Amino acid sequence: MTVVTIHIYPYVTPQCMILVTGGAGYIGSHCAIRLIEEGKDIVIFDSLELGHKETVDTLRSVSKGSKVEFVQGDLKNPSDIRSVFEKYDIDAVVHFAAYSQVAESMKDPQKYYYNNVYGTLNLLSAMKDARVGKIVFSSTAATYGEPEYVPIDEVHPQMPINPYGNSKLMVERIMDDYSRAYGLRSVRLRYFNVVGADGRIGEWHVPETHLVPNVLKSVLSPGGVFSMFGTDYDTRDGTCVRDYIDVRDLIDAHILALSYLDKGGETDYFNLGTNDGSTVREVFSECEAVVGSKIQVNECARRPGDPAVLIADNQKAKSVLGWEPKHTLKESVETAWSWEQKLN
């Protein structure tokens, strides 16, 4: 018996635009700037609740003739996102817009399910009706939960331990069903710890919770002391091990994922990490080396919900997408430091 797969949606629609949801945020803006530099016409959709208008202005200033449209809207309002597909000829979507703080998700799960799941359903529904059939989605290592083994490959069980991870896993499952039923193909990219900056844009969260910017902010704030969460883990120096991936390498994978979908690639998912881990102390030392001075540190209790070790097995992204992360942790910290000084 011959099995024929019929795709409802066209693979490539030349001259169309790419929609970047959350394009005014940290990772979304790095994707947007790359697409602009590649001469693509893009629409940035962002509520500006967490993203920044200044980032959109920077993105616009980079364009050498390609269209950079900005729509301020909220995925929780179906009409906001539907109107984007009515107004613009969208070929593919790169979907970043989401809440992403684990601790906040524990305190207010509804906020996470409502925004990350319901908001994405509105996006997918609008895509389906507009017959837009390709999406690259920001998923996360948090969908795996407490690791059963490291490095974590893509077949590792997905058992999230917080609402943030649950919300992202729910979207992954919804996307599987949309792919099967409607031919809306997706690439889900499971990020490990994203660091670094392009320089013109960078990591800008308010409040900031992540390791590298928090170490660097402590240098720039008078009397600042960095809080190191947990020094009694069963790791080589007692602090948590994470797999830090440079944002520019991460974006390479998004560009490859878009081209994979353009060529007719099937719905799939990939880990994005380096296959290697650094402890919090090692990252802290790298920051001291880059800054060129001693940084004040306060060794604190563990932060609830932090697994001891998270490292990605990245073989699948390498072999299927042809992805190769290039930047070292030192380079990531250097770019983060330049950006942080600019932001200060």
What are the residue numbers of the active site? 164
Query: Is the Cβ of residue 27 or residue 92 nearer to ligand UDP in the bound state?
Result: 27
- In the complex, the smallest distance separating the C-beta of residue 299 from ligand UDP, rounded to whole angstroms, is 9
| Sequence letter at residue 44 | I
Per-position b or e across 13-46, b if 16+ CB within 10 A of its CB? beebbbbbbbbbbbbbbbbbbbbbeeebbbbbbb
Per-position b or e across 211-225, b if 16+ CB within 10 A of its CB? bbbbbbebbeeeeee
CB 5 within 8 A of CB 80: no
Q: What angle do CA 286, 197, 97 make, to 5 degrees?
A: 125
Where along the sequence are the contacts to ligand UDP (CB under 6 A)?
193, 209-211, 214, 227-230, 240, 242, 280, 303, 306
Query: Is the Cβ of residue 214 or residue 332 nearer to ligand UDP in the bound state?
Result: 214
Longest dimension (CA), the chain: 72
Query: Is the Cβ of residue 153 or residue 306 nearer to ligand UDP in the bound state?
Result: 306
Write out the two tokens for 198. 């392009």
Q: Is 252 helix (H, G, I), strand (E, B) or coil?
A: helix
- In the complex, the smallest distance separating the C-beta of residue 29 from ligand UDP, rounded to whole angstroms, is 19
Query: Is the Cβ of residue 178 or residue 229 nearer to ligand UDP in the bound state?
Result: 229
CB 16 within 8 A of CB 89: yes
CB 9 within 8 A of CB 135: no
φ, ψ for residue 75 (rounded to 5)?
-60, -20
- In the complex, the smallest distance separating the C-beta of residue 208 from ligand UDP, rounded to whole angstroms, is 8
Query: Is the Cβ of residue 172 or residue 306 nearer to ligand UDP in the bound state?
Result: 306
